[in-house]
Amino acid sequence: MNTPVPVHTLRLVLGDQLNPLHRWWQQPDPGILHVLMEVRSETDYVRHHAQKIIALFAAMEAFVGARRAEGHRMRHVRIDDPSNRQSICANLEALQAHYRAPRIEYQAPDEWRLDQALAAWGARMAAQGVAVEAVDSEHFLAPRAAVGAFFAPRREWRMEHFYRAMRQQWRVLLDARGKPEGGQWNFDQENRKRWPGTPPEPADRRPRHDHRVIWARIQAAGVDSFGQPEAEALRWPLDRNEALAQLDDFIAHGLPHFGDYQDALAETAPRLFHSLLSFALNTKMLHPREVIQRAEAAWRAGTAPLPAVEGFIRQILGWREYVRGVYWAQMPDYAEHNFFGHTRPLPGWFWTGATRMACLARAVGDSLAHAYAHHIQRLMVISNFALLAGLDPAGVHRWYLGVYIDAFEWVELPNTLGMGQFADGGLLASKPYVSSGAYLDRMGDHCRQCSYAVRQRTGPGACPFNALYWDFFMTHRPRLEGNPRLGLVFRQVDKMGDAERAALRDYAAALRANIETL
Ligand SMILES: Cc1cc2nc3c(=O)[nH]c(=O)nc-3n(C[C@H](O)[C@H](O)[C@H](O)COP(=O)(O)OP(=O)(O)OC[C@H]3O[C@@H](n4cnc5c(N)ncnc54)[C@H](O)[C@@H]3O)c2cc1C
Ligand code: SF4
């Protein structure tokens, strides 16, 4: 019988570090054992959507298979493995003891919680004579500390400033003189159209996976989850090849119209022209640079207009890198912010989608069915309602962290707490992202089939967004009045008569009291 090759290095690969281009995978070494784990500490830190757990487990399985086929030594600890101690550090410690590995390496995690746990555990192991090293995950374009350093001398943490610096640093969409292509940095003004029903939403060509076996394993382990598992047809790309195919498809069919309808909402088109790349990006199957390069190349080849390409690149080179930097600069305190002091629990229909408000039924329903909703559903429908209704931002954060396929705290928390709930008091957003029903009516077609009347402000059947919107500004006037971007709102409040203001406040109070049955 062959004696196994001793393990000189144990390497931890987290479920969101499935990057086959990382230097770890350049050259197989039989003395290096790579470990991937399905553990209860990761399935249970928040209640997750079933598809999110299935997709992560399935993607890890695919990754293990592909690296093993390349000759790498892999260990996949499954959730039902009797030796599984159900926490990353406990499993690592057991494996280190078993193999007597003198060295452990891990790629720096993106979540503060795991970063702290691994650093503390690593220090303990180092004290016992085991060498522990954290290496770069080689994914992001800006180092963790870059955003904090960039904004340290500035008064305001506005994404746009950082984005322009990133465009220059990475020479993206610049002309030969280093100026922005098209003569301007930002084409946002052109990217706010309502979708009239044409061009048609691109076909959903994502692969179908059957993961009933994985789902059965998750259920047998007793993992609590919510949302539809859709174990017969999981539609998320689970390896790099599938992710690249999704990128090709988006560049050809979605990108040309991405800009125009970036802010639109549509009852019959839940994906519109969005890329559906966030799971592949956040698990690092795709590198942001290649996605940006493909988009820029499409514009240079004349297959997508500049406003669409700039708008798309801004999301990845700008927002994605920026929110990650905000997260690292502000944690751990960031998670505790609650600027407005909101405490109301989330209504039960966040877990069923059963509400008569058509826009919310669609956005929450899509989230539960697909573990996905596009940006405007997340921001201007669900989060807008949550802020206007005074829901507890920590509860909203937990719901967002659990429900979306792409939700990892480094990106979810600043988006939810900062952009969505203004809970950081305006560090990330220059004003609260809230609207009345008129905006939702302008950007989409949900209101046509809603039980509520979008133009009505008060009285039975009036759109809840209207009274909640005006009540929000009346309630929080002392905190918001000094914001120069909100002058018009307060002038409109002042123009109302006392009776109108009182009726709005009464109706808003009634809506909050009956929130479960809206
Ligand atoms: C309240 C709220 C919570 C959110 N939570 C998450 C989350 O948990 N995970 C997540 O990846 N995104 C989150 N976002 C950002 C954005 O909504 C999603 O990235 C996007 O909907 C994913 O779908 P897509 O791949 O089709 O994106 P597209 O619309 O096609 O955009 C392309 C890519 O740009 C990036 N991107 C776009 N907007 C943002 C943003 N605001 N911040 C960071 N990256 C961005 C994503 O990587 C996305 O894949 C959140 C936004 C809001 C308002
Ligand atoms: S009427 Fe109000 S609640 Fe109904 S879909 Fe329109 S905005 Fe949403």
Mean pLDDT of 287-294: 98
Is there a cis peptide before residue 109, judged by omega within 30 degrees of 0? Answer: no
Nearest to 276 by CA among 446, 435, 439, 55: 55
pLDDT recorded at residue 189? 82
Bridging pattern class, strands 32-37 and 73-77: parallel
To test the ligand 1 pocket, which listed residue (16, 278, 417) has its Cβ within 8 A of the most ligand atoms? 278
8 A C-beta contact, residue 428 and residue 421: no
8 A C-beta contact, residue 23 and residue 74: no
For residue 411, report the distance from its CA to the centre of ligand 1, in Å. 8
303-322: pLDDT as tens digits: 999 999 999 999 999 999 99
Could you tell me if residue 183 is left (phi over 0), alpha (psi between -120 and 50 degrees) or otherwise beta? left
Q: What is the CA radius of gyration of the chain?
A: 24
Buried b (16+ CB within 10 A) or exposed e, 203-236: eeebeebebeebbebbeeeebebbbebbbeebbb
In terms of Cβ atoms closer than 10 Å to its own Cβ (0-12, 13-18, 19+), residue 257 is buried
The yes-or-no verdict on residue 152 having pLDDT over 90 is no
Q: Phi/psi at 274 (nearest 5 deg)?
A: -75, 160
Secondary structure, 3-state, 419-472: HHCCCCCCCCCCCCCCCCHHHHHHHCCHHHHCCCECCCCCCCCECHHHHHHHHH
160-219: pLDDT as tens digits: 999 999 999 999 999 999 999 999 999 988 878 999 999 999 999 999 888 889 999 999
8 A C-beta contact, residue 190 and residue 259: yes
To test the ligand 2 pocket, which listed residue (359, 458, 517) has its Cβ within 8 A of the most ligand atoms? 359
pLDDT recorded at residue 285? 98
354-370: pLDDT as tens digits: 999 999 999 999 999 99
pTM, two decimals, is 0.97
pLDDT recorded at residue 150? 86
Q: Which ranges in 100-155 belong to alpha helices (H)?
A: 112-127, 146-151
Mean pLDDT of 114-134: 95
Q: Which residues pair with 103 in a beta bridge?
A: 131
pLDDT recorded at residue 64? 98
- What's the pLDDT band for 231 if we cut at 50, 70, 90? low
For the chain, the straight-line distance linking the first and the last C-alpha, in angstroms and rounded, comes to: 69
**Angle, vertex CA 248, rays to CA 246 and CA 253, nearest 5:** 95
Give the contacts of 409 (CB within 8 A, at least 6 positions apart): 110, 111, 112, 113, 327, 401
473-516: pLDDT as tens digits: 999 999 999 999 999 999 999 999 999 999 999 999 999 999 99
Angstrom distance (rounded) from CA 367 to CA 351: 10
- What's the pLDDT band for 147 if we cut at 50, 70, 90? confident
- What's the pLDDT band for 156 if we cut at 50, 70, 90? confident
User: Which percentage of the chain shows pLDDT scores above 70?
Assistant: 99
Assign 3-state DSSP to the chain and report helix, strand, coil percentages, each to 5. 50, 5, 40
pLDDT recorded at residue 2? 60
8 A C-beta contact, residue 240 and residue 20: yes
317-352: pLDDT as tens digits: 999 999 999 999 999 999 999 999 999 999 999 999
Structure tokens at 289: 């640079």
pLDDT recorded at residue 322? 96
The yes-or-no verdict on residue 97 having pLDDT over 90 is yes
Buried b (16+ CB within 10 A) or exposed e, 259-283: bbbbbbbbbebbbbbbbbbbbbbbb
Q: Which residues pair with 36 in a beta bridge?
A: 76
Atom of ligand 2 nearest to the CA of 440: 7
Residues with CB under 6 A from ligand 1: 274-278, 281-282, 315-316, 319-320, 323, 374-375, 378-379, 383, 400, 404, 406-407, 411-412, 415-416, 419-420
For residue 470, report the distance from its CA to the centre of ligand 2, in Å. 15
Residues with CB under 6 A from ligand 2: 357-359, 437, 440-441, 446-447, 450, 452, 454, 463-465
Report the chain's mean pLDDT, rounded to a whole number.
Answer: 95
Higher pLDDT, 356 or 156: 356
For residue 388, report the distance from its CA to the centre of ligand 2, in Å. 14
To test the ligand 2 pocket, which listed residue (454, 466, 468, 514) has its Cβ within 8 A of the most ligand atoms? 454
| Cα 89 from chain centroid (whole Å) | 26
Angstrom distance (rounded) from CA 307 to CA 313: 10
Nearest to 231 by CA among 207, 210, 216: 210
pLDDT recorded at residue 232? 59
Q: How far is CA 436 from CA 37, 96, 250, 443, 463, in A?
A: 46, 57, 32, 12, 9
8 A C-beta contact, residue 389 and residue 515: yes
